[in-house]
């Protein structure tokens, strides 16, 4: 299914991957790849899980590709979606040594690569790209057994993208943070799987505070730890008077 919103065509391709196409044909991807979602290798590991089907997906049509942190850095996924002349935006903390996966170092990607922090504000490929902080609170629920957050502060970011005048917010792998609710957002695409990020209840509360024109949840049901009740999320958001849609 494809979501159409204020001139944008938006697809959740699985896991954290969003494809956003503007009315002028500009194509943006956020966090493409992993877990076989773009290679046809993804399959549900429990009955009833609802998630976009894995596909052998290689359009190479992306003008802009944004990568929020190392867990979502998939160089093969980038190569599948990026045009030869694409701009690839990667958080400054992403480094191939921080993952056990076989990935191309960021410095060796054959694209125009821009490193960003949590306070970037740039015009790239006709898209205004703003970054936001994204992390887990050390005193919150999303920590390892040793107390370390799954996503420590400074290791990733979220993206607030202005595509042809419509703002799209992908918060990244993060808790709900101070300042999120103050953003001007038209399309809100929160993670709702919990375990490593805000869960469906926290995301629904943030949606109520943001008051966007539409909510499209992502980053859930890819594997067991991200399994959640997307239908309950829809009810919670709709009860706040905020339009919401599922894409799978």
pLDDT tens, residue by residue, 107-166? 999 999 999 999 999 999 999 999 999 999 999 999 999 999 999 999 999 999 999 999
pLDDT of residue 44: 87
Between CA 159 and CA 124 the distance in angstroms is: 13
Residues 156-170: tens digit of each pLDDT: 999 999 999 999 999
- Residue 228: pLDDT over 90: yes
Q: Is 0.85 topped by the overall pTM?
A: yes
Structure tokens given for 117:
């922090």
pLDDT of residue 170: 98
- Residue 248: pLDDT over 90: no
CB 147 within 8 A of CB 162: no
Beta-carbon contacts of residue 196 (< 8 Å; ≥ 6 apart): 136, 142, 150, 151, 173, 225, 226
Per the prediction, the chain carries an average pLDDT of 97
Over residues 188-216, mean pLDDT: 98
The domain limits of the chain are 3-239
pLDDT of residue 85: 98
pLDDT of residue 49: 77
DSSP string, the chain: --EEETTEEEEEEETTEEEEE-TTS-EEEES---TTTTBT----SSTT---PPP-B-----EEEEEE-BGGG--HHHHHHHEEEEEEEEEETT--GGG-SS----GGG-SSEEEEE-TT-EEEETTEEEEEEE----TTSS-B-TTS-BSS-TTSBEEEEEEETTEEEEE--S----TTGGGS--SEE--B-B-SSS-BHHHHHHHHHHH--SEE--BS-SSSGGG---HHHHHHHHHHTT--B----
Residues 41-90: tens digit of each pLDDT: 999 887 767 899 999 999 999 999 999 999 999 999 999 999 999 999 99
Please state, for a pLDDT cut of 90, what percent of the chain lies above it.
Answer: 96
Banded model confidence at residue 185, pLDDT cuts 50, 70, 90: very high
Q: What CATH number is given for 3-239 in this structure?
A: 3.60.15.10
Task: List 121's β-bridge partners, or say none.
Answer: 130
pLDDT of residue 1: 77
């Amino acid at each position: 299914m494809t979501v159409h919103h204020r001139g944008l065509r938006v697809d959740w391709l699985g896991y954290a991957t969003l494809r956003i196409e503007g009315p002028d044909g500009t194509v943006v991807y956020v966090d493409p790849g992993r877990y076989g979602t773009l290679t046809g290798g993804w399959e549900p590991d429990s009955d009833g899980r609802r998630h976009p089907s894995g596909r052998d997906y290689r359009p190479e049509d992306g003008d802009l590709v944004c990568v929020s942190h190392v867990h979502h850095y998939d160089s093969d996924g980038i190569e599948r979606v990026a045009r030869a002349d694409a701009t690839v935006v990667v958080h400054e903390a992403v480094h191939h040594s921080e993952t056990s996966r076989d990935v191309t170092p960021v410095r060796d990607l054959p694209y125009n690569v821009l490193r960003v922090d949590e306070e970037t504000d740039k015009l790239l490929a006709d898209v205004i790209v703003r970054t936001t902080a994204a992390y887990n609170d050390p005193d919150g629920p999303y920590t390892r057994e040793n107390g370390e957050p799954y996503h420590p502060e400074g290791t990733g970011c979220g993206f607030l993208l202005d595509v042809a005048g419509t703002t799209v917010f992908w918060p990244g792998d993060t808790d709900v943070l101070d300042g999120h609710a103050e953003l001007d957002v038209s399309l809100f695409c929160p993670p709702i799987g919990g375990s490593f990020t805000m869960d469906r209840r926290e995301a629904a509360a943030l949606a109520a505070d943001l008051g966007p024109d539409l909510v499209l949840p992502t980053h859930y049901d890819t594997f067991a730890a991200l399994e959640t009740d997307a239908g309950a999320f829809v009810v919670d958001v709709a009860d706040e008077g905020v339009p919401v849609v599922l894409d799978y």
